[in-house]
């Protein structure tokens, strides 16, 4: 699955990740030497802690680690991912050389998938021919009914022109899986790129047109024809952009919950024969569908019959080529990267192919690779240590809730019940996905990709209309990330994040509480952020708050929204306080809860005892700051400000710590320091 699709579906399914997936990666700059848990040589102590804590903690590292060509951002996450690539490489190298793997075994599938993707001689020779059958079908369109038929065929195979269809728990009956639609159909990552009149949006639109034209020519069009075709695509996508919801509205669970049945959907969006659609995608087991964005579905379905069939041919052709590009010959692959990697994110060079194939194998055969990964690299002691940390931090959040002055006892009781019910998953799933129905061969990389996609679609469709399987994971164990799921009311920590600089087996408590402790607390706080608080302890979208408490909460979060709205990045741009609110609440709450947890862990110990010259409190804040150290290209910063619900790395540090009283004491911050915030103006929620 490509990154955009993956992120769209994760957002759609309400999965709230710790950080957005990283873009490019490199085999340069790997930190191999064992570093101390807290590396003081990364700091820049010429900067005052009260002026810019992010640079005080990371300044020297930032100066000494320019972004490698393949990256759009390079920081602690990417350094850890580098190490991860090297671990996965040993697994894939073993698998790819295993001549004796039994036919149909997981090892055979991993081997053949990876090797077929590495066989660039064959892939280059094949050119665009893997798409021939589908392109011929598109070419044969004569009526709007043909367009719809193709839409169904594509969706049935796991490619999603125009909109997404996916399975997820019913937001108001979280034990049952239902079908959901989500807006889509755009080649650019956000609707604002089509509608914005700012210079960056205009520049991206112009580059997108050029890129499309090049791709059409590679696919066999004349330059004259390509020049006409790009306007057709742009017109259709712009129409879709106009009926799409803004990202801020996609974060509102109430707005995006519009459950209906087949008859209701047919009335809402008569442009499509929905009975035929669901039969075509082999979904006849359910009559409950949540329409994420009704305005979009209505408008999109109407377009099927009002836009000329000749234009749809062009659009579907583009969708197919664009979604397959990185799996085709190197001319397509390179041009695809030139736009999505370089223009949108600023990466100068494409990652080496072996890494991209690790990513793809890791995505298509996620839990098969994951199983080998945890066997080889995940120490059981790490899980034990994590269980301890999580239970300490649950107590801490409970204490914080009990002590809140702005919340009534009745709502507190509900909040505490929700906290007590949070389920915790650490490392890897108890039950692995069974890949025996997935066929992977040596013939064609594209065919392997399609088979893997089909396998995933079948798995998803089968879930609909059945009870939720609570043992499932939404991230693979080899993913450097973590998430909270509001419908499951659970926090999940894949094995790969349980490594430095997030998790240290042997470091002092202060460092671990500032990093993984904060990550754990951050994920728990998501259950109580502006989005998560709208779900009850069973994971149902249901208001359990007294009206006054909601009012107080909103007033409290407004302080945070305003602070972030005023946070300038790249001179004149600023963070979107509303778009990033959930993450910012989780960062602030996460730090308060983790700090409270640390104080408990230090009880009875000498709180002034220094390690490498720093007290435990100082190490706690420094550890937090070092997790977010990152250099980011301007293009990537601009992209993330628009698309990412997480604030930029620098902001995750500087917009948080100056709200926390203990930070002032730890570093002796005084009025007059640049980022000093008077106590009455500080944000404080959880
Ligand atoms: Zn988060």
Number of C-alpha atoms within 13 angstroms, CB side, residue 302? 11
* Per-residue burial over 266-291, b = 16 or more CB atoms within 10 Å of its CB, e = otherwise: bebbebbbbeebbebbebeebebbbb
pLDDT tier, 26 (very low <50, low <70, confident <90, very high otherwise): very low
Residue 483's beta-bridge partner residues? Answer: 17, 492
* Per-residue burial over 318-334, b = 16 or more CB atoms within 10 Å of its CB, e = otherwise: bbbbbbbbbbbbebbbe
Q: How many residues does the chain have?
A: 686
Ligand 1 center to residue 522 CA distance, Å?
A: 6
R_g (Cα) of the chain, nearest Å: 25
Given a cut of 60, whether residue 7 has pLDDT beyond it is: no
**In whole numbers, what is the pLDDT of the chain averaged over residues?**
94
Given a cut of 60, whether residue 28 has pLDDT beyond it is: no
Ligand 1 center to residue 158 CA distance, Å?
A: 28
Ligand 1 center to residue 17 CA distance, Å?
A: 5
Residue 1, pLDDT score: 36
Ligand 1 center to residue 525 CA distance, Å?
A: 9
Which residue in 483, 485, 579 sits closest to 522, CA to CA?
483
pLDDT tier, 23 (very low <50, low <70, confident <90, very high otherwise): very low
Ligand 1 center to residue 621 CA distance, Å?
A: 18
pLDDT tier, 35 (very low <50, low <70, confident <90, very high otherwise): confident
What's the rounded Cα separation, in Å, for the pair 308 and 205?
A: 23
Ligand 1 center to residue 221 CA distance, Å?
A: 44
Ligand 1 center to residue 374 CA distance, Å?
A: 24
Structure tokens at 250: 């996609």
pTM over cut 0.85: yes
What are the angstrom distances between the C-alpha of 202 and each of 32, 192, 197, 198, 205?
Answer: 42, 10, 6, 6, 5
Given a cut of 80, whether residue 651 has pLDDT beyond it is: yes
Ligand 1 center to residue 590 CA distance, Å?
A: 10
Quickly list DSSP for 122-176.
HHHHHTTGGGHHHHHHHHT--SHHHHHHHHHHHHHTT--SSEEEEEEEETTEEEE
What are the angstrom distances between the C-alpha of 212 and each of 106, 116, 205, 361, 643?
Answer: 38, 27, 11, 27, 22
Ligand 1 center to residue 483 CA distance, Å?
A: 7
Residue 30, pLDDT score: 39
Secondary structure of residue 573 in the 3-state scheme: strand
pLDDT tier, 518 (very low <50, low <70, confident <90, very high otherwise): very high
Mean pLDDT value of segment 115-122: 97
Helix axes 309-324, 330-337, angle to 10 degrees: 90
Determine if the peptide bond prior to 501 is cis (ω within 30°): yes
pLDDT tens digit sequence for 600-642: 999 999 888 999 999 999 999 999 999 999 999 999 999 999 9
Residue 22, pLDDT score: 43
Structure tokens at 82: 């580098």
What's the rounded Cα separation, in Å, for the pair 113 and 443?
A: 10
Q: Are 72 and 29 in contact (CB under 8 A)?
A: no
484 — phi, psi (to 5°)?
A: -115, 135
pLDDT tens digit sequence for 539-597: 999 999 999 999 999 999 999 999 999 999 988 899 999 999 999 999 999 999 999 99
Lowest mean pLDDT across 90-99, 170-179, 429-438: 90-99
Ligand 1 center to residue 397 CA distance, Å?
A: 16
Residue 572, pLDDT score: 86
Residue 19, pLDDT score: 75
Ligand 1 center to residue 640 CA distance, Å?
A: 15
Residue 11, pLDDT score: 55
Cα angle 352, 428, 588 (rounded to 5 degrees) comes to: 85
Ligand 1 center to residue 605 CA distance, Å?
A: 32
Residue 169, pLDDT score: 97
pLDDT tens digit sequence for 141-151: 999 999 999 99
- Residue in this structure with the two tokens 């660039």, named with its chain if needed: 120
């Amino acid at each position: 699955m490509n990154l955009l699709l993956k992120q769209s579906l994760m957002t759609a399914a309400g999965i709230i990740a710790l950080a957005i997936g990283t873009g490019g990666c490199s085999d340069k700059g790997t930190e191999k030497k064992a570093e101390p848990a807290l590396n003081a040589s990364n700091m820049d102590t010429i900067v005052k802690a009260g002026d810019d804590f992010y640079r005080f903690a990371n300044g020297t590292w930032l100066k000494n680690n320019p972004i490698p060509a393949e990256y759009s951002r390079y920081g602690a996450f990417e350094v850890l991912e580098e190490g991860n690539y090297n671990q996965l490489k040993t697994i894939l190298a073993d698998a790819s050389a295993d001549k004796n793997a039994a036919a149909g075994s997981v090892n055979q599938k991993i081997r053949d998938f990876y090797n077929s993707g590495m066989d660039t001689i064959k892939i280059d020779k094949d050119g665009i021919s893997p798409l021939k059958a589908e392109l011929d079908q598109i070419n044969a369109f004569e009526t709007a009914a043909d367009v719809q038929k193709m839409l169904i065929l594509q969706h049935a195979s796991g490619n999603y022109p125009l909109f997404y269809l996916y399975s997820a728990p019913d937001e108001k009956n979280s034990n049952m899986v239902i079908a959901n639609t989500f807006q889509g159909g755009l080649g650019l990552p956000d609707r604002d790129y089509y509608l914005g009149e700012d210079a960056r949006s205009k520049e991206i639109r112009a580059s997108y047109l050029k890129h499309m034209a090049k791709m059409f020519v590679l696919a066999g069009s004349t330059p004259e024809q390509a020049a006409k075709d790009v306007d057709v695509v742009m017109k259709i996508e712009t129409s879709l952009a106009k009926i799409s919801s803004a990202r801020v509205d996609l974060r509102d669970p109430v707005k995006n919950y519009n459950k209906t049945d087949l008859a209701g959907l047919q009335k809402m969006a008569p442009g499509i024969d929905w009975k035929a659609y669901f039969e075509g995608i082999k979904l006849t087991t359910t009559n409950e569908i949540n329409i994420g964005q009704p305005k979009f579905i209505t408008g999109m379905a109407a377009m099927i019959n009002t836009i000329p069939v000749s234009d749809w041919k062009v659009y579907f052709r583009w969708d197919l080529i664009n979604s397959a590009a990185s799996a085709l010959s190197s001319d397509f692959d390179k041009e695809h990267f030139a736009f999505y990697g370089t223009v949108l994110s600023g990466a100068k060079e494409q990652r080496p192919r072996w890494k991209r194939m690790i990513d793809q194998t890791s995505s298509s055969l996620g839990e098969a690779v994951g199983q080998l990964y945890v066997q080889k690299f995940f120490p059981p002691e790490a899980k034990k240590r994590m269980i301890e940390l999580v239970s300490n931090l649950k107590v801490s959040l409970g204490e914080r809730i009990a002590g809140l002055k702005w919340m009534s006892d009745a709502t507190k009781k509900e909040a505490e019940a929700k906290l007590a019910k949070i389920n915790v998953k650490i490392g890897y799933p108890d039950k692995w996905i069974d890949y025996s129905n997935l066929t992977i061969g040596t013939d064609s990389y594209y065919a392997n990709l399609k088979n893997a996609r089909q396998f995933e679609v079948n798995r998803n469709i089968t879930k609909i209309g059945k009870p939720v399987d609570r043992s499932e994971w939404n991230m693979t164990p080899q993913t450097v990330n973590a998430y909270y799921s509001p419908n499951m009311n659970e926090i999940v920590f894949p094995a790969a994040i349980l490594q430095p600089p997030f998790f240290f087996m042997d470091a002092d408590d202060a460092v671990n509480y500032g990093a993984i402790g904060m990550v754990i607390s951050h994920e728990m706080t998501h259950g109580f952020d502006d989005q998560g608080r709208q779900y009850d302890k069973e994971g149902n979208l249901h208001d359990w708050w007294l009206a006054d408490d909601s009012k107080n909460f909103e007033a409290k979060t407004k302080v945070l929204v305003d602070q972030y709205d005023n946070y300038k990045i790249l001179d004149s741009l600023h963070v979107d306080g509303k778009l990033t609110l959930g993450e910012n609440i989780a960062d602030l709450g996460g730090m308060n809860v983790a700090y409270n947890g640390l104080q408990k862990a230090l009880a009875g110990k000498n709180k002034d005892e220094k390690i490498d010259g720093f007290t435990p409190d100082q190490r706690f804040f420094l550890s937090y700051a070092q997790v977010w150290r990152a250099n980011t290209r301007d293009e990537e910063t601009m992209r993330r400000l628009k698309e990412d619900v997480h604030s930029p790395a620098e902001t995750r540090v500087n917009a948080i710590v100056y709200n926390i009283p203990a930070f002032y004491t730890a570093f002796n911050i005084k009025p007059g320091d640049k980022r000093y915030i008077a106590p009455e103006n500080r944000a404080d929620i959880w």
